[in-house]
């Protein structure tokens, strides 16, 4: 199954953790840089986030080489590097952060679980599954021992380990973890909580990957109803759910139903996030794929070009997320007998992947 637009599984793996909440009230300059970095990160301005987090790291170094605030600053900057696809720069920062935390809070503290999870996410993105798996397992074990098997903090490591198994084709190992994550959320939060919708979307994606479309559709519909009721019909999470459901329809050849949902998702993303947000590019790519399937090539090409422009502006010209759109665009160019143009984009896509 193509991963058209589910952000809950993959893009959710690299969200910035809220390390700043543990900062001291007296360290105003470090706090200011950290808070400004978080604000820039959350609005998608990663270059600005990087500058603020680098400044925060410089301030944190004044606290001493073993201060936990230094570990948090290292983590924040590393997380931004990951989002910018600067993987080589991120890894040593994650490792240094982990070393400081292990000395400062002990090897079995929940903060260690978060740090392990972040490093594992980096390996996961790079396809280094063998390196990621033991880190995810250790992270999960720490959380379970520290907080109990039904604590909400279990949800993230369960989902991430399940996602790793899914990427490896280990479906039998992945399914019970997705279900356990869902059960924990339902028990702790009730059946109508938005976080339950996230778990339903994850399990739905798992079923869709296995072509169990009826089961996926049932879960996606339930998640969508929860989000619309809890968050309102114009919330970005609703758009994500619409994309998920539309993907299932698209795969089954229900093009009309898929287009209606894709268009609605695009409208929500533009209204909620602005026309230049990466999630808008995601929606544009989804609609373009639909148009390509329908052989509406001129309409699809315009949308692919818009999606690429948004991604390039927001994430830079070499971010891995561009590969998917480039490959889709290459397929369109080949379908319209534009071999030379297709080869140029294919070379670019391969270069990004290789980097």
pLDDT (tens digit, 9 = 90+) per residue, 121-169? 999 888 899 999 999 999 999 999 999 999 999 998 999 999 999 888 8
Do 294 and 269 sit in the same domain of this protein? no
Q: Which residues contact 276 (CB under 8 A, 6 or more apart)?
A: 310, 313, 314
> 117 and 135 in contact (C-beta within 8 Å)?
yes
Do 243 and 304 sit in the same domain of this protein? no
Q: Rounded CA gap, 45 and 116, in Å?
A: 26
43-96: pLDDT as tens digits:
778 889 999 999 999 999 999 999 989 999 999 999 999 888 788 999 999 999
Please tell me the predicted confidence (pLDDT) of residue 92: 97
Please tell me the predicted confidence (pLDDT) of residue 316: 85
Residue 309, pLDDT > 60, answer yes
Inside any domain, residue 53: no
Please tell me the predicted confidence (pLDDT) of residue 15: 34
Q: What is the pTM of this model?
A: 0.76
Find the mean pLDDT for residues 97-109: 91
Do 290 and 226 sit in the same domain of this protein? no
- Look up tokens 């869709």; give the residue: 208
Do 207 and 261 sit in the same domain of this protein? yes
Specify which of 11-15, 180-184, 276-280 reaches the highest per-range mean pLDDT.
180-184
Inside any domain, residue 228: yes
Confidence label for 214 from pLDDT (cuts 50, 70 and 90): very high
Do 253 and 218 sit in the same domain of this protein? yes
Inside any domain, residue 5: no
Please tell me the predicted confidence (pLDDT) of residue 42: 82
The average confidence (pLDDT) of the chain is 89
Do 285 and 246 sit in the same domain of this protein? no
Do 269 and 281 sit in the same domain of this protein? no
Q: Rounded CA gap, 70 and 329, in Å?
A: 43
19-35: pLDDT as tens digits:
444 444 447 899 999 99
Report residue 26: phi and psi, to 5°: -85, -15
Do 319 and 334 sit in the same domain of this protein? yes
> In 3D, which of 109, 89, 108, 167 has the Cα closest to residue 133?
167
Do 194 and 261 sit in the same domain of this protein? yes
**Could you tell me the residue range of the domain that residue 338 belongs to?**
277-355
Percent of the chain with pLDDT over 70: 93
Percent of the chain with pLDDT over 90: 75
Q: Rounded CA gap, 291 and 285, in Å?
A: 10
The residue out of 247, 273, 299 marking a domain boundary is 273
Inside any domain, residue 243: yes
Domain with residue 262: its CATH number is: 1.25.40.10
Please tell me the predicted confidence (pLDDT) of residue 104: 87
Do 266 and 298 sit in the same domain of this protein? no
The residue out of 273, 288, 323 marking a domain boundary is 273
The residue out of 235, 251, 273 marking a domain boundary is 273
Do 315 and 242 sit in the same domain of this protein? no
Provide the 8-state DSSP code for 220: H
How is residue 246 written in tokens? 């539309």
Inside any domain, residue 338: yes
CA 247 centroid distance within chain: 17
Give me the number of domains the chain comprises: 2
Please tell me the predicted confidence (pLDDT) of residue 89: 95
């Amino acid at each position: 199954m193509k991963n058209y637009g589910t952000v809950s599984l993959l893009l959710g793996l690299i969200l910035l953790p809220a390390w700043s909440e543990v900062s001291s009230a007296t360290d105003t300059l470090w706090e200011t840089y950290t808070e400004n970095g978080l604000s820039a990160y959350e609005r998608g301005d990663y270059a600005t986030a990087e500058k603020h987090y680098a400044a925060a790291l410089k301030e944190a170094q004044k606290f001493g080489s073993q201060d936990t605030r230094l570990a948090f600053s290292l983590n924040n900057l590393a997380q931004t590097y990951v989002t910018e696809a600067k993987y080589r720069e991120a890894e040593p920062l994650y490792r240094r952060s982990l070393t400081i935390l292990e000395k400062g809070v002990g090897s079995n503290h929940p903060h260690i679980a978060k740090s392990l999870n972040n490093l594992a996410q980096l390996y996961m993105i790079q396809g280094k599954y063998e390196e990621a798996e033991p880190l995810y397992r250790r992270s999960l074990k720490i959380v379970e021992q520290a907080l109990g098997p039904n604590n909400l903090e279990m949800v993230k490591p369960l989902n991430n380990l399940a996602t790793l198994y899914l990427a490896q084709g280990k479906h039998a190992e992945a399914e019970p973890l997705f279900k356990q994550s869902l059960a924990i959320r339902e028990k702790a939060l009730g059946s109508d909580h938005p976080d339950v919708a996230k778990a339903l979307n994850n399990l739905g994606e798992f079923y869709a990957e296995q072509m169990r479309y009826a089961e996926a559709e049932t879960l996606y519909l339930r998640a969508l109803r929860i989000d619309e009721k809890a968050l309102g019909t114009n919330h970005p999470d609703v758009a994500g759910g619409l994309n998920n459901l539309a993907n299932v329809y698209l795969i089954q050849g229900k093009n009309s139903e898929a287009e209606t949902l894709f268009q609605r998702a695009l409208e929500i993303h533009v209204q909620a996030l602005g026309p230049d947000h990466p999630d808008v590019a995601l929606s544009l790519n989804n609609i373009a794929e639909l148009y390509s399937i329908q052989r509406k090539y001129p309409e699809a090409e315009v949308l692919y070009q818009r999606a690429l422009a948004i991604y390039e502006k927001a994430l830079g010209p070499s971010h891995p997320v561009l590969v998917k759109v480039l490959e889709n665009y290459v397929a369109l160019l080949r379908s319209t007998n534009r071999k030379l143009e297709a080869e140029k984009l294919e070379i670019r896509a391969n270069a990004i992947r290789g980097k």
